[in-house]
C-alpha cells in the first residue's frame, strides 16, 4: 500500500489485510483479487494482474485444486501446465459446496477489490454468491465473470473450452494450408485472448472506480473475444460475399507477405508497402519486378501473389535462409526465419528482454516460464512468487479475516 500513501482518495478502502509481501509495488499494488477460475483462461488473466502487483488469492477446491493441476506435462508430479500460469498467486483451499466455505468467500469479498469467476451462468447465483448479494456488502467490488458464451443469449449455459470457441468463432476455418482441413491454432488462443480482454475489462473498471467510487459487473464471453480478432476476415466476407477459407501462410490482402522456400528451409518476407517492396527487389537483385504491371502496387501484388511468389522463389531457392536474412536485414526489409520452440527460448532478443524466467518449484525444481511483456518504466511487472502448492496460503489468508473481524 506504500505507493498509494501520497494520495488521499476518498473512495480508497483502507485494506490493511496484513503485511504486504516485500516489493509489491507494481501498477496494481494494493489491489486484492479473489480468483475462482481454473484451467487456463481466467488464471492467465489473474497471473497478469499478479505480475502487475495485485495480490491474487486463488481459491481452490480442497484436496483436488484447480483442474489444471491434473494436466501434464508433469515434473516430479508437479504440473507444468499449472505452473506456467499460476505464479504470483496465493492458494487457499475453500469448499464452496459448503455453507461455511461460501461464508468465508463472502467475508473475503467484503474487503476485496475484484472477484473473478468462471463457473457456468447460474452457479454463483445458486450458491448465493451472485453479484447483487456481494455488491450489497461491498459496492466497490468489481465482479468479473468469464464464460464460454456469456451471461446472456441462447447458448449462455453451454460449456466451452479453447477448441470449442476456436471452432465456433470461425478462426479454424481460416487457418491452415490452402485446400486443407480447418486447423486449430497451436497455442490456446481460445483461452488466452479472452484472458487478455478480461484483464482489460478489470483494470478499466478499477480506473473508473477511482472516479465513481463504484464497482461493476464484467461479463466476458470467450466466443465474443475470438469474434473480435476476426476483424479482417469479417470485413473481407462482408465486402466480397465470399467465405474466407484457409490460405496457407500468405496474407489475404498484402503481398509479398508469406513463407518462401529458400535452399535449406523456410523464410518469411513481409514487404507491406511499395517502399519495402522496392527495397526487397533491389536487395535480392530482382529490380525488373518493380516495373512489372502485375506488381505495381499492393492491391495488384496481392491479386497476383502466386506469380510473384514463384518469381521470388526462383531467386530465394538458390541460397540458404541465413544468407537471405542477412541480405534483407541490411536492406531493412521485414523478414524472419521460422523458429522452433528450442530456438525461441534461447534467442538473444528473447533473453535480452527478460522473456524467459526461472521459477524454483518445490517438487519440480527449476522451471522456465515466459516473462511479462508489459514493460512499464516506473512500475515494472515482477515475478515474486513461484506457483503455489495447493492450500499453501490457506492459514495466512484466513487468519487475516479473523484479525479484521
In the complex, the smallest distance separating the C-beta of residue 124 from a copy of itself, rounded to whole angstroms, is: 15
Based on CB atoms, which residue is closest to a copy of itself, 104 or 203?
203
Closest to 199 measured CA to CA, from 396, 381, 354? 381
Contact string 143-162 vs a copy of itself (x = CB under 8 A): -----xxx-xxxx--xxxxx
Kindly state the cell numbers that stand for 311.
Answer: 518469381
In the complex, the smallest distance separating the C-beta of residue 50 from a copy of itself, rounded to whole angstroms, is: 12
Question: How many residues belong to the chain?
Answer: 405
Residue 219 near residue 240, CB atoms below 8 Å: no
Residue 238 φ/ψ, nearest 5 degrees: -65, -30
Kindly state the cell numbers that stand for 381.
Answer: 511487472
Is 18 among the residues that bind a copy of itself (CB under 8 A)? no
Binding a copy of itself by CB under 8 A: which of 101, 334, 391, 398? 334
List, in order, residues 6 or more apart from 225 with CB less than 8 Å away: 165, 193, 194, 196, 197
Decide if 251 is catalytic: yes
Check residue 132 and give left, alpha or beta (phi > 0: left; psi -120 to 50: alpha): alpha
Which range touches a copy of itself (CB under 8 A), out of 55-63, 102-110, 288-296, 326-334?
Answer: 326-334
Binding a copy of itself by CB under 8 A: which of 95, 107, 219, 313? 219
Residue 76 φ/ψ, nearest 5 degrees: 50, 40
CA distance 34 to 199: 14
Interaction with a copy of itself in 32-61: which residues (CB under 8 A)? 39-40, 44, 48, 52
Is 7 among the residues that bind a copy of itself (CB under 8 A)? yes
Residue 301 near residue 256, CB atoms below 8 Å: yes
Is 383 among the residues that bind a copy of itself (CB under 8 A)? no
Is 327 among the residues that bind a copy of itself (CB under 8 A)? no
β-strand partners of 90: 57
DSSP for residue 4: G
Binding a copy of itself by CB under 8 A: which of 14, 19, 136, 239? 239
In the complex, the smallest distance separating the C-beta of residue 346 from a copy of itself, rounded to whole angstroms, is: 11
Based on CB atoms, which residue is closest to a copy of itself, 349 or 402?
349
Is 388 among the residues that bind a copy of itself (CB under 8 A)? no
Give whole-number Cα distances, 216 to 10, 112, 132, 146, 383, in Å: 18, 13, 10, 14, 29
In the complex, the smallest distance separating the C-beta of residue 275 from a copy of itself, rounded to whole angstroms, is: 10
Interaction with a copy of itself in 107-146: which residues (CB under 8 A)? none
Is 284 among the residues that bind a copy of itself (CB under 8 A)? no
Based on CB atoms, which residue is closest to a copy of itself, 47 or 108?
47
Interaction with a copy of itself in 360-379: which residues (CB under 8 A)? 364, 367-379
CA distance 45 to 277: 39
Kindly determine how many residues on this chain lie close enough to bind a copy of itself according to the rule CB under 8 A: 167
Based on CB atoms, which residue is closest to a copy of itself, 125 or 339?
339
How many C-beta neighbours within 10 Å does residue 230 have?
Answer: 17
Kindly state the cell numbers that stand for 189.
Answer: 488462443
CA distance 208 to 64: 37
Residue of 251, 323, 347, 393 marked active site: 251
Based on CB atoms, which residue is closest to a copy of itself, 338 or 395?
338
Binding a copy of itself by CB under 8 A: which of 229, 282, 287, 399? 229
- Buried b or exposed e, range 269-308, using 16+ CB within 10 angstroms: bbbeeeebbbbbbebbebeebeebeebeebeebbebbeeb
Contact string 85-104 vs a copy of itself (x = CB under 8 A): x-------------------
Which range touches a copy of itself (CB under 8 A), out of 95-103, 288-296, 350-358, 389-397?
Answer: 350-358
Quick one: angle between helices 41-51 and 189-212, nearest 10?
50
Interaction with a copy of itself in 176-215: which residues (CB under 8 A)? 176-177, 180-189, 192-194, 196-197, 199-201, 203-208, 210-214
Kindly state the cell numbers that stand for 9.
Answer: 482518495
In the complex, the smallest distance separating the C-beta of residue 91 from a copy of itself, rounded to whole angstroms, is: 19
- The catalytic site residues sit at 251
Amino acid at each position: 500500500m506504500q505507493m498509494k500513501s501520497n494520495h488521499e482518495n476518498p473512495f480508497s478502502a483502507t485494506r490493511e489485510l496484513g503485511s504486504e509481501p516485500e516489493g509489491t509495488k507494481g501498477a496494481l499494488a494494493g489491489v486484492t483479487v479473489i480468483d475462482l477460475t481454473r484451467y487456463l483462461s481466467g488464471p492467465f488473466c489473474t497471473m497478469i494482474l499478479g505480475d502487475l502487483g495485485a495480490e491474487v488469492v486463488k481459491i481452490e477446491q480442497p484436496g483436488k485444486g484447480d483442474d489444471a493441476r491434473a494436466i501434464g506435462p508433469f515434473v516430479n508430479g508437479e504440473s507444468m501446465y499449472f505452473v506456467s500460469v499460476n505464479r504470483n498467486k496465493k492458494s487457499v483451499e475453500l469448499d464452496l459446496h459448503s455453507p461455511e466455505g461460501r461464508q468465508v468467500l463472502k467475508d473475503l469479498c467484503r474487503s476485496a477489490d475484484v472477484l473473478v469467476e468462471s463457473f457456468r451462468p447460474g452457479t454463483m447465483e445458486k450458491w448465493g454468491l451472485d453479484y447483487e448479494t456481494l455488491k450489497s456488502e461491498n459496492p466497490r467490488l468489481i465482479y468479473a465473470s468469464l464464460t464460454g458464451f456469456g451471461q446472456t443469449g441462447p447458448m449462455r449455459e453451454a460449456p466451452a473450452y479453447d477448441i470449442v470457441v476456436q471452432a465456433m468463432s470461425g478462426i479454424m476455418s481460416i487457418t491452415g494450408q490452402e485446400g486443407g482441413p480447418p486447423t486449430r491454432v497451436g497455442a490456446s488462443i481460445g483461452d488466452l485472448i479472452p484472458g487478455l480482454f478480461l484483464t482489460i475489462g478489470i483494470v478499466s473498471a478499477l480506473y473508473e472506480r477511482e472516479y465513481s467510487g463504484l464497482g461493476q459487473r464484467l461479463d466476458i464471453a470467450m466466443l465474443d473475444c475470438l469474434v473480435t480478432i476476426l476483424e479482417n476476415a469479417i470485413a473481407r466476407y462482408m465486402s466480397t460475399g465470399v467465405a474466407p477459407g484457409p490460405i496457407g501462410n500468405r496474407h489475404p490482402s498484402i503481398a509479398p507477405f508469406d513463407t518462401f522456400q529458400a535452399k535449406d528451409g523456410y523464410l518469411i518476407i513481409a514487404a507491406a508497402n511499395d517502399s519495402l517492396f522496392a527495397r526487397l527487389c533491389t536487395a535480392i537483385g530482382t529490380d525488373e519486378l518493380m516495373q512489372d504491371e502485375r506488381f505495381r502496387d499492393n492491391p495488384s501484388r496481392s491479386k497476383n501473389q502466386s506469380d510473384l511468389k514463384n518469381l521470388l522463389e526462383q531467386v530465394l531457392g538458390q541460397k540458404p535462409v541465413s544468407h537471405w536474412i542477412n541480405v534483407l536485414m541490411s536492406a531493412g526489409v521485414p523478414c524472419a526465419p521460422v523458429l522452433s520452440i528450442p530456438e525461441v527460448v534461447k534467442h538473444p532478443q528473447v533473453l535480452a528482454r527478460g522473456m524467459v524466467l526461472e521459477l524454483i518449484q518445490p517438487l519440480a525444481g527449476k522451471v522456465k516460464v515466459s516473462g511479462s511483456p508489459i514493460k512499464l518504466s516506473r512500475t515494472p511487472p515482477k515475478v515474486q512468487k513461484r506457483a503455489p502448492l495447493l492450500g499453501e496460503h490457506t492459514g495466512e489468508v484466513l487468519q487475516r479475516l479473523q484479525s479484521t473481524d
